[in-house]
Structure 1
């Protein structure tokens, strides 16, 4: 019956999921709980529909090949499966990437022996050529290696498979389809006991690839940060506040900075006009300026050719008040971020509510994360952002006392070490005698680094003078992070015991 059945090769659709799930469970007989969720399949189809291929026989999913596009120059050949995926949101996928990365291929056991896998591989190759991408790359399991591990190194095992002295159901198939072994990776897929957690990094090169002409280098490796240590003072009106903002944007952009970072609730001086109201009413009055400020920042970002991280501002969403900020890119686009963890004072005085989005953001200087003050004291957020590919973490903060500042500083330094990234913090100084709950400020803005030979011995790239209005201009080298990830004295990211613990992002079900 199978011989006479119609075989259809096409792109996968979200509505195929139930049939796909059946096929996955049958195919992953050794790992029955490791199939893709419907949410993950939906994300893949939405992000890269051409790359999700399936073979259908008699309305059944007989086989499937899933893939993403990555900018492989941002990775190295010793990556792990988890790091290349970029989490359940596949944050590493980039339409401007140069390589198709295969993340899964499987054939339903009932349809094996029909050369369906070859059809999927050939379709991937055609797609690679059509999109003018450099290569197809993926990490391949070597499931028969466990039988020979006591007598053969992975290298010797691969050589024998190439000579057809040993048959490996995965590697033998990949070699027969014109893929070559680029490298052996240790610890590629946690829990793959059949392969002893080794994998072969397989590659197929597109001989028709034509390198695009890059007139402008899009992603920078040396990035200049401008941090504003903002003086809290009473302003005559809104226009006076905006004039002070523009002064700093102008000054920092004159030094060709890529980013400027403002502190948390830097616009609090405008709350003086609401001081006769209750604290919840006053913060709601301040929130009326947020949309206007966003428009102003977006205009400045374009006019001064600089990416602006606006610190934070209150924003009313329905009945609730949130502490939010915006990343205003110099191309005119923008993103919104939220303070996830609200301090007891924010909750009791202003009725603030914690946000629900943990995200990283693409920029022309790579992926960045942004956390507002208290958030940096919770290491889980930074680790999730790190797994999404974050290289720079920006922390706008506001602390009234030196011990409050010390909490932010110490935790920010820890985040830099444990996530092997740069962390920039910017706060406010001075006082606001006519604004309740905002009397005094203490800050020392700084840029922190990992602590290894390529970085300052104390992990501090630069610090501003404490409690004085100023700017801090700092150059950071993103290539040093890539080197650290692989050749550091210690490797905090690689050496995590994922066999003992994992960290997963949950989707919050909102009731409002």
Structure 2
């Protein structure tokens, strides 16, 4: 990672961004003269197709952009050079009725490369194409490393070696990894592109949802992909080993396009082995000293892997009290804390844990969610209050030592899914942890539960892991099914409550 980011935002370009946009473009194309768009060019793009102009903003600074126009498929395939496709840089070729998104430019400032921000821009272009019901994305990609091999390879041979991963090209290799396929080679495409010998590859990405109803950009998703991590308790030498293992799982679930990664309760407990000579109460306080570092690292992971991370839980020390708390690290770089409200007798007796006092839901780019920790799910009032606020998914990081404890968590979680007409995802730790007092054994079977009606599995189980085995579980849930259930379900638990007889409300 070349630079640390505290907050990242992907949004539509505004004319006020121009100075920063120009600076980033110059830094991105140092080898090309006049390698930036003039302000009147940007004004024209914003006038004809504002939703197609995207920027990445890191800590308030524009560090990348993707610019595009609409054209017909026939025009995109027949046009052979950059001047022609852009109307000699006037964008007069933009056709509001075009069925193809044509990529005019995309770049990430070199200082911010390696954070997968380019992939985020491409994903947004794909999302925009789906929302506007466009047939495909087409553009001509430079091949900047071709100049190094032009003496021994023609463009076709070079492309084949890139596809077989015998050679690497920073542009073409990236495009192919993003599911673009080559259409043909274009000669004399971009005047002055010495690195590519003025060659380019016409590339296309097909929208498999073409003819579906379009949506507006950045609206909440209907299909949300959950990545649950069933964490194996193991001895770890230091916090870096924990980060390495955590990043492995985050990389895995984000690689499958997950919107959320869910870690279990107290998954950082292996680090407590260094304090096993202390009492349990003192050892948990020492473990709490790692919490800020864990939160910071997971914020970085959330940005880098473009995924919302629910960090399970870990001890958190505040004003002399130890809380069982966790963080929702959003992919925009922000984070919010949640605390376990109901503390088990074991947690009080051995660790002196204090219960939190805030019942809340969280707004995300996938809708409103709730998070409760383990024992909390056994108290139906919490999730019912969250459901009243519009919660669609309840996440439950847990830690149970015996199958008895797990059974309580599992069946209560299933009940919460039915009575609140929501999805419930639970993730726990498995295995044994020697040399850590009060953390000897763990039992878990992570799962995603659903309401019980015709649109859902008859047993209310969307998917579940193998018990007591380290693994991930990746599950898609459809929020639109919940909306249908609320209005037209066989039973409607949320609507049919007798408010004339009883009510539930927060006291603070």
For the criterion TM > 0.5, the same-fold answer is: yes
Give me the whole-angstrom Cα distance separating, in 1, the residues matched to 2:317 and 2:393.
29
In structure 1, the residue matched to 2:490 is: 489
In structure 1, the residue matched to 2:367 is: 366
Give me the whole-angstrom Cα distance separating, in 1, the residues matched to 2:382 and 2:369.
13
In structure 1, the residue matched to 2:336 is: 335
- Superimposed CA distance per residue, residues 54-91 of structure 1 (whole angstroms, 9 cap, x where no aligned partner): xxxxxxxxxxxxxxxxxxxxxxxxxxxxxxxxxxxxxx
SS of equivalent residue, structure 2 residue 501: coil
Q: What is the TM-score with the length of structure 2 in the denominator?
A: 0.58
Give me the whole-angstrom Cα distance separating, in 2, the residues matched to 1:328 and 1:388.
21
Root-mean-square deviation (Å): 1.0
In structure 1, the residue matched to 2:350 is: 349
Give me the whole-angstrom Cα distance separating, in 1, the residues matched to 2:489 and 2:238.
51
- Superimposed CA distance per residue, residues 132-180 of structure 1 (whole angstroms, 9 cap, x where no aligned partner): xxxxxxxxxxxxxxxxxxxxxxxxxxxxxxxxxxxxxxxxxxxxxxxxx
> CA offset at residue 347 of structure 1?
0.3
Give me the whole-angstrom Cα distance separating, in 1, the residues matched to 2:424 and 2:381.
15
Structure 2, unpaired ranges of 5+: 1-213
Query: Where in structure 2 are the equivalents of 1:277-356 lying within 5 Å?
Result: 277-356=278-357
SS of equivalent residue, structure 1 residue 427: strand
In structure 1, the residue matched to 2:403 is: 402
> CA offset at residue 223 of structure 1?
0.3
Does residue 466 of structure 1 match 2:470? no
Query: Where in structure 2 are the equivalents of 1:197-236 lying within 5 Å?
Result: 216-236=217-237
In structure 2, the residue matched to 1:269 is: 270
In structure 2, the residue matched to 1:102 is: none
> CA offset at residue 392 of structure 1?
0.1
In structure 1, the residue matched to 2:240 is: 239
SS of equivalent residue, structure 2 residue 396: strand
Give me the whole-angstrom Cα distance separating, in 2, the residues matched to 1:403 and 1:280.
25
In structure 1, the residue matched to 2:391 is: 390
SS of equivalent residue, structure 2 residue 230: strand
Runs of 4+ in 1 over 4 A off after TM superposition: none
> CA offset at residue 214 of structure 1?
7.3
Structure 1, unpaired ranges of 5+: 1-212, 508-512
- Superimposed CA distance per residue, residues 266-302 of structure 1 (whole angstroms, 9 cap, x where no aligned partner): 0000000000001110000000000000000000000
Does residue 442 of structure 1 match 2:443? yes
- Superimposed CA distance per residue, residues 89-136 of structure 1 (whole angstroms, 9 cap, x where no aligned partner): xxxxxxxxxxxxxxxxxxxxxxxxxxxxxxxxxxxxxxxxxxxxxxxx
> CA offset at residue 237 of structure 1?
1.0
SS of equivalent residue, structure 1 residue 314: strand
Give me the whole-angstrom Cα distance separating, in 1, the residues matched to 2:503 and 2:402.
36
> CA offset at residue 432 of structure 1?
0.7
> CA offset at residue 319 of structure 1?
1.4
Name whichever of 216-225 and 345-354 sits farther off. Answer: 216-225
Query: Where in structure 2 are the equivalents of 1:421-436 lying within 5 Å?
Result: 421-436=422-437
Give me the whole-angstrom Cα distance separating, in 2, the residues matched to 1:442 and 1:409.
12
Give me the whole-angstrom Cα distance separating, in 2, the residues matched to 1:479 and 1:215.
16
Give me the whole-angstrom Cα distance separating, in 1, the residues matched to 2:288 and 2:295.
11
Give me the whole-angstrom Cα distance separating, in 1, the residues matched to 2:493 and 2:320.
42
Give me the whole-angstrom Cα distance separating, in 2, the residues matched to 1:317 and 1:294.
15
Give me the whole-angstrom Cα distance separating, in 2, the residues matched to 1:359 and 1:215.
28
Give me the whole-angstrom Cα distance separating, in 2, the residues matched to 1:390 and 1:360.
7
> CA offset at residue 218 of structure 1?
2.9
SS of equivalent residue, structure 1 residue 283: helix
Does residue 476 of structure 1 match 2:489? no
- Superimposed CA distance per residue, residues 323-356 of structure 1 (whole angstroms, 9 cap, x where no aligned partner): 0000000001111000000000000100000001
> CA offset at residue 503 of structure 1?
0.4
Give me the whole-angstrom Cα distance separating, in 2, the residues matched to 1:236 and 1:299.
22
How many residues align? The count is 295
SS of equivalent residue, structure 1 residue 265: coil
